[in-house]
Structure 1
């Protein structure tokens, strides 16, 4: 009787909390790195790391693209983002790919940010930012729209890291800045 009672009392608890699968980094190979090339849209993020948290609060929209760098494990980055009311375009940073430990290092003017790319849909970029064991996770996608299932996957990862819905900062497509090539096209037409 006691095992049945224990099972019945524990069942609602087990059903209420999702199982937390470990965040498994992608193993970088010759197909993975080229798969990162191209346009991405930053969708959402959550962090307990104070510098990232301040940036998340100010970030209204961001889009970025990766292009081949000077060697196979280096990607050039072009970023277009709206921080509060200001549009910023940067094309001076790089991402270094470290295959031996499956990490990405974003290098921007002597500032380094390290992250793991988490296994997921090939059109998603879920990054676990590595900052002294302080949890931070971000979601980017090939398009500004993600499916309900993709968003739920991200939210599940956040929940397992101890984040609540109030901790998530979303960007909005309505706050997008013109991309550099759009400005060029407009100027050419005039």
Structure 2
């Protein structure tokens, strides 16, 4: 009886090795300065596959969301400016993320600490965040892009990551950027920032 079992294992080994190699790219990325530079800028929240009840609840409430990341490599922090739309209202929030290079994690304090792993995709215009990587019952994987709409090719990499992490496509919660209500506030903030940046230059010219 041992021989057929052994033959079955040997037959499956190449398949397991191939799958391991395919999934290796979805490991937590090293948080180097280059990684932080890649994360810098404006991003749109596209979807989440979540088994964590709290994260699923938030994802279901979100109608649309985009955010800005401004890394500070010297201090290992990232300024996060979020523009989520919930209940047809824009709920703006600014906070600081802490970068933990040794553990390859990024964390945020909101009464308690939320910790995520950055997963870099082959397409530099997208990335993912993985939460609770060692907890199958609470694992969550979120997908972000630099445009409000993504291509099938970009989504396919998200689906591949979901499969590699043992999640299911049926667990995905999508949001619709067409329901965004934060555009006017974003425009106001950009005008205020532009005005603030121009004032020192005007003062120097007057001086």
Q: Give TM-score scaled by structure 1 length.
A: 0.79
How many Å separate the matches in 1 of 2:97 and 2:147?
Answer: 21
The residue number in structure 1 matching 2:60 is 57
The residue number in structure 2 matching 1:158 is 162
Q: Does 1:182 align with 2:187?
A: yes
The residue number in structure 2 matching 1:102 is 104
How many Å separate the matches in 2 of 1:49 and 1:145?
Answer: 25
How many Å separate the matches in 2 of 1:137 and 1:41?
Answer: 15
Q: How does 1:75-94 map to 2 (within 5 A)?
A: 75-91=78-94, 93-94=95-96
Aligned residues: 174
Contact 2:44/2:147 (8 A) holds in 1: yes
Quickly say closer, same or farther: Cα 1:71–1:186, change in 2 above 3 A.
closer
The residue number in structure 1 matching 2:116 is 115
Q: How does 1:32-71 map to 2 (within 5 A)?
A: 32-69=35-72, 71=74
Q: Does 1:124 align with 2:126?
A: yes
The residue number in structure 2 matching 1:170 is 174
Q: Which has the larger radius of gyration?
A: 2
What value does the CA root-mean-square deviation take over the aligned residues?
2.9
Contact 1:97/1:105 (8 A) holds in 2: yes
Q: Which runs of 5+ in 2 are unaligned?
A: 193-207
The residue number in structure 1 matching 2:150 is 146
Shift, 1:58, TM fit: 0.8
Contact 2:107/2:116 (8 A) holds in 1: yes
The structure richer in helix per residue is 2
The residue number in structure 1 matching 2:27 is 24
Deviation by residue 1:48-76 (Cα, 9 ceiling, x = unmatched) = 11110111111111100012459431011
Contact 1:73/1:98 (8 A) holds in 2: yes
Deviation by residue 1:124-171 (Cα, 9 ceiling, x = unmatched) = 121111276121100011111222111011012112333333211111
Find the residue that maps to 1:32 and give its secondary structure.
helix
Find the residue that maps to 2:23 and give its secondary structure.
coil
The structure richer in strand per residue is 1
Contact 2:61/2:86 (8 A) holds in 1: yes
How many Å separate the matches in 1 of 2:23 and 2:120?
Answer: 11
